[in-house]
Structure 1
Amino acid sequence: MTGLLLVTAVEAEAEAVRAGLGGRLTVTAVGVGPAAAAAGTARLLTQAEAGGRPYQGVIFLGIGGGFAGRVEIGGTAIATRSVAADLGAESPDGFLPIDDLGFGTAVAEADPGLLAALPQAVAGTILTVSTVTGTAASTEALATRFPDAVAEGMEGYGVACAAAGLPFAEVRTISNVIGPRDRSSWRIPAALSALTDVGKTLGLA
């Protein structure tokens, strides 16, 4: 893969991907949360454009939570679409996504060409949230609203917005099961190791 901007949220994720890339591509940490990730990605894209070396696509890579029964801890999830799950409004009848309000869309579709070039993994919707899910009730609500969702993170939709029409994809390796918050059950080393494996695939493509 050439001409791609590879971004993560934090440096530990970037280091894990670099370990697999073997120096063939670069990867940059752009910040945690949709706003910081969007701003960091936009800055890198603008700098590349100004330097006469525009990127041809953007891939976000990071660790995240996985929905039980849909993807395993240490496994890899690839987004068919990245959805801002909490972008909308509350109502007496339940959550109203921004799409229903007529103010745009909370959905960023992944580029089919990039998806075809990524390693085989569990594919489905990856949710972008500003508050990580940490209760059984909120987990059930999200799983019901998004029956095809496989994972959640905090940056994918923001990075997709910054990509502004460029081919985009999101990859998450799973450190924990989404549900009641239990930090002791998280397996971050396993998720980072899986990111390195993804990097090896990208470095060979």
Structure 2
Amino acid sequence: MNARERVLLATAVPAERDAVAGAFPGPADEVRLPGATLLRTDGGFDLLAAGVGPALAAASTAAALTAAALAGTPYGLVVSAGIGGGFQPEAPVGSLVVADAITAADLGAETPDGFLPVTDLGFGTVTHLPPNSLVREVVAATGARPGTVLTVSTVTGTATRAAALRERHPGALAEGMEGFGVAEAAAAHGVPVLEIRAVSNPVGPRDRDAWRIGDALAALTGAFGKLAPALESWNTHDD
């Protein structure tokens, strides 16, 4: 990236944002935007709690990207980060997943013959691809598992739905609710995107007793502590 370009890190909720912020020493300044507030670190990272779900995440991320562009200081990279569900056994609780594909899992239509993605209906897109070289950097720095991260509007809570998602998306390792929305906003601005998830629970039957949110948030902090130099030095021309 250009040395003057910053990185926008978008999480869903403040707890995730604060976990990421724990990886960056020193105070962060609040920057007020229309409908959003950034935490700006000295290291070139802006942290945004963009909201839950793909629609609000897309709107908040777009607002931050637009404000930066209008100020003449565009972002060089957008990262969707947070905790999420992991498909077992490939993505166990406590592990990290980095998306090599960010896919909207339920954007489309149900038909008598099964689910059709919106692209089969002749509209839009359902997948954004992060830069290969950056995915490799994340894997090397953190040991994260690379694979598809699904964006869902309804969190999976049954074994039946988990099996259906795996059948439809064999490469899926994790699911979250914001990645695709963040990626859509980044794509509209021509900015590369990345998604990183720390696994807090298995994808499948909803069992709150099995959730390990604290462990996943700690894993997120640890990941960004290792990742910051790689994100700062990554060159967009590598892909």
TM-score by length of 1: 0.96
Within 5 Å, which residues of 2 pair with 1:19-168? 19-23=22-26, 24=43, 25-118=45-138, 119-164=142-187, 165-168=190-193
TM-score by length of 2: 0.83
- Amino acid aligned to 1:13: E
Range that drifts further, 70-79 or 103-112: 103-112
> Deviation of residue 117 (structure 1)?
3.0
Contact 1:74 1:174 survives alignment (8 Å): yes
> Deviation of residue 7 (structure 1)?
1.0
Alignment size in residue pairs:
205
> Deviation of residue 120 (structure 1)?
2.9
- Amino acid aligned to 1:27: L
Larger radius of gyration: 2
Q: Distance in 1 between matches of 2:94 and 2:214?
A: 9
Q: Distance in 1 between matches of 2:171 and 2:24?
A: 30
- Amino acid aligned to 1:19: G
Match of 2:202 in 1: 177
- Amino acid aligned to 1:174: V
Tell me, which stretches of 5 or more residues in structure 2 are unaligned? 27-42, 231-239
> Deviation of residue 116 (structure 1)?
3.1
Match of 2:32 in 1: none
Contact 1:18 1:26 survives alignment (8 Å): no
Match of 2:29 in 1: none
Match of 2:10 in 1: 7
> Deviation of residue 201 (structure 1)?
1.5
3-state SS of the aligned residue for 1:20? coil
Tell me, which stretches of 5 or more residues in structure 1 are unaligned? none
> Deviation of residue 113 (structure 1)?
3.4
RMSD: 1.3
Counterpart selection for 1:194 from 187, 196, 219? 219
4+ residue segments displaced more than 6 Å: none
- Amino acid aligned to 1:8: T
- Amino acid aligned to 2:223: V
Contact 1:114 1:168 survives alignment (8 Å): no
> Deviation of residue 166 (structure 1)?
1.1
Q: Percent of pairs identical after alignment?
A: 53
> 1 or 2 for the larger relative contact order (CA 8 Å, sep ≥6)?
1
